[in-house]
Homo-oligomer: A and B are copies of this chain.
Amino acid sequence: MRLAELSARSGVSTATIKYYLREGLLHPGRRVTATLAEYDEDHLRRLRLVRALIQVGRVSVQSAREVLAALGDEDLDRNSRLGTAVWALPHGPAPDEEDPATESARRSADELMDRLGWSYGRSGEATAPAYGMLVSAIAALARLGYPCGAGDLEPYARAAERVAVTDLDLVERYGTPEEQVEAAVALTVLYEPVLLSLRRLAEAEESRRRFAGP
């Protein structure tokens, strides 16, 4: 398809598509003449992913480029490609190592992961950004005096495990390893606001059940 059709089918303006091409977020089309290029379904799929990252996930162009580089690395298996891509997503501020709450938060995070049998990216090995995000969030709870021990956190982690099974079931609907890894990254980002809004709605239902007046 030509640029105009790629634009119509993706809902992304031709100016934005040209910008993504210049920034290396989209691989060049197949040159037909000096001024015309041909695009295919791979371009369309990649364009959707780029929009998910940049417009919904508020990922910078630089980070998006790192995510995409990881996705395209054919030397890695699916699991490593996915890990590297999610690693490149933004994760908020790193833990504040000057703060005494950080060290005890790290102990709570490690105790939690021991209980769950999780080993990915925790302290000691190469530390995953999502692990740092967890430690920062626990430290904020601790500083403010709110419950944040491994026992308090465990039911949330069990819910996260069920969510992750659903996530990967969605991902496995896609046919090729390439499509699966792309979908995994897009769905990680796009389902975050879904989850947070559903939690607020579920809280409102549960609050009504417990607390509503006569």
Contact = CB atoms under 8 A, between A and B. Distances in A.
Given A207-B82, A211-B79, A202 B163 contact: yes
Interface in A138-174: 138, 140-141, 143-147, 152-153, 155-168, 170, 172-173
A94 interface: no
B128 A48 contact: no
A167 B201 CA distance: 12
A interface residue count range (under 10 / 10 to 19 / 20 to 34 / 35 or more):
35 or more
Within the oligomer, what is the number of copies of this chain?
Answer: 2
A157 B202 contact: yes
A134 B190 CA distance: 11
Nearest to A55: B140
Contact of A138 (B170, B194, B202, B211): B194
Given A131-B201, A195-B160, A211 B167 contact: no
Nearest to A172: B210
A91 interface: yes
Most buried by B among A82, A119, A121, A211: A211
Interface string A107-120: 00000010000111
Contact of A82 (B145, B184, B195, B211): B211
Contacts of A194: 134, 137-138, 141, 153, 156
